[in-house]
Amino acid sequence: MATLKQTFRASFQKKRSRGQQSRRLGTLDLALGPIRYRRMADQISAAIRESIATGKLAPGTHLLEVEIAHEMKTSRVPVREALMQLDREGLVVRKANCGTFVAEFTEKMVREVCSLRGLLEGFAASQAVERLTAEDFKRLDAILKSMRIAAETGDFSCVLACDYAFHSYIMHAAGHELLEEVWRMTDAKVRVYLSATNLMPSDMQFVAESHKRTLSALRSGDPEQARRAMAKHIEEHLDLLVAGVLSTNKNVGVKPSRVITRNQKESA
């Protein structure tokens, strides 16, 4: 007759065998290929997020579930889920008995997002500086060349596209997946603020030159120098946003809490 100890051991080995088989089956399932399906709510939120970031949906725009559902050819349920997700991200505001609106922004919000971006991208630059190759610098040079040409011709949309391409490239080059994931959560807000600006060609050229200085610091191979250069670059972006957006009353949805013009800053 088997002892209690032998019975327990046999039971344990049987459970362990089932667990190993389950894990093997799980590995086999995952190896079948990537999951390509995205929920309808995710697709809708992505479409709205992009429209907000590119300025197609201005701050304060009323987002009607029935209209979005009609345009996306779906029911209102996934639309409602998508708007709840965007509300959590801070891109839209849901008001009781009023509906959902594209978020309006203030100087405080701009400063908070830019200060966070400075920390994230400064760290990313310090990590990327030792990983960037000659081929990477060749691609970054091409991005900045396109940005310079766009700035000279006053093509603001192209300047924004190049700005995003440059910063996204550095974040990816840092090789820090969690950092990149957190950065992308704030990216949509940054693009909203940038798309709301109305920079003059001279300002665009200043932006292009600021990127050029940052790239030179990355070429130095010094992590601390790269971090400081990126942080300063983000600060210069903040100055343009404050002067070019929040002090302009013509922009709908902009609520300046304290206007600081470039002349005031220089005199200070």
CA distance 234 to 226: 12
Written out in words, the top-level CATH class of the domain with range 105-267 is: mainly alpha
Nearest alpha-carbon partner for 240 in 224, 218, 261: 261
Q: Mind listing the pLDDT tens digit for each residue in 97-147?
A: 899 999 887 778 778 888 898 999 999 999 999 999 999 999 999 999 999
Q: Are the C-beta atoms of residues 104 and 253 closer than 8 Å to each other?
A: yes
Closest CA to 204 of 144, 141, 155: 155
- Closest to 128 measured CA to CA, from 37, 215, 246: 215
Cα separation of 203 and 206, whole Å? 5
pLDDT, tens only, 144-193:
999 999 999 988 888 888 998 999 999 999 999 999 988 887 877 777 76
Interatomic CA distance for residues 190 and 192, integer angstroms: 5
For 24-77, strand residue ranges (E) read 62-63
Name the residue type at position 203: D
Could you tell me which CATH number the domain at 40-102 has?
1.10.10.10
Ranges of each domain in the chain: 40-102, 105-267
Cβ(241)–Cβ(111) below 8 Å:
no
Rounded to whole angstroms, how far apart are CA atoms 35 and 41? Answer: 16
Q: Are 31 and 75 in contact (CB under 8 A)?
A: no
pTM of this structure: 0.65
pLDDT at residue number 28? 36
Band of pLDDT at residue 81, cut at 50, 70 and 90: very high
Nearest CA to 193 out of 222, 151, 160, 225 is that of 160
Whole-number Å distance between alpha carbons of 248 and 25: 60
